Structure 1
C-alpha cells in the first residue's frame, strides 16, 4: 500500500501528464495566464482558497463549480465559538470580484450552539488574503 504522500505525488503526476496530451505548445508569455480553464475556474484562485482554508476541515469541494465549503472549525484558543466558511470562485479570470467568501459563526451558550453575526470585515479580510495569495502564485509561475 502506498503512503499518502506517495499517493498524492502519483496522482499529481498522473493529472499533470494527462493535461499535457494532444495540445499545442503555448507561447512562453502565456505560461501564467490569468485565465485558466482546465478545472473550470481560475486555478490560482482555487489553489489560494485551499491554501487559505487549509487549517479548517473541508466538507465539500467542487473545482468545476468553484465552490469550497468547510465544516465547523473551533479555534482552540476560543472554544466557545465556531466558524464555517464557503468560498465561491465566480470567474475564470484572476480578478478581485471573482471570489466571494461567506461565513457562519456560532457561539456556545449553555451547551447549545447559537447563531451569531459575522463582521463584514472578516469575510472581506479572507477575500483579500485569497486574492493576495493567488497573485503571489501567479507571480511565482511567471518568474519560476
Structure 2
C-alpha cells in the first residue's frame, strides 16, 4: 500500500479509517519524543523524520539531494511500520529494544533489520516507541552514519 501525499497531513487524510487513530498517535509520539533537530517530511512516500541539510549538508549518500533519513512510519498493506535506522546501525540500541518490547506488549516482536511491524493497531507500544525516539540525537545519528553506513 503506497500513499501518494505531498505533506504529512495529506498522508494522514489518505489512511484507511481503521488505522487513522493509531497512526496519528504513533506520529505524535515520534514528534513529541524525537530530540530537537530532526524534521518531519514526506520521505520515500512515508512520513519521514530526517536530519535536514541545515544540520548535515552532505545529505543521504544514496542521493545527496535528500536529507539524511532516520525514522519513517508507513501504512503498509498488512501492517503499520516504523523504520528506525538507529536500531539498524546500533547493536546496543537493538538489544535494548528487543529486551524491552515484551515488557510492553504480549505479542511477539515482528521486526526486520530496521522495520518494526504492527499488525494490530491496539498493540502498538507508544510509551516504548517514545523511549526509543529519545535515545539518539541528530548529532549521534550523524556520527554513527558516517562511521558505519556511509563508509560501506
| TM-score grouping bracket, smaller chain normalisation | 0.3 to 0.5
As a proportion of its length, which structure holds more strand? 1
Larger Rg: 1
TM-score by length of 2: 0.33
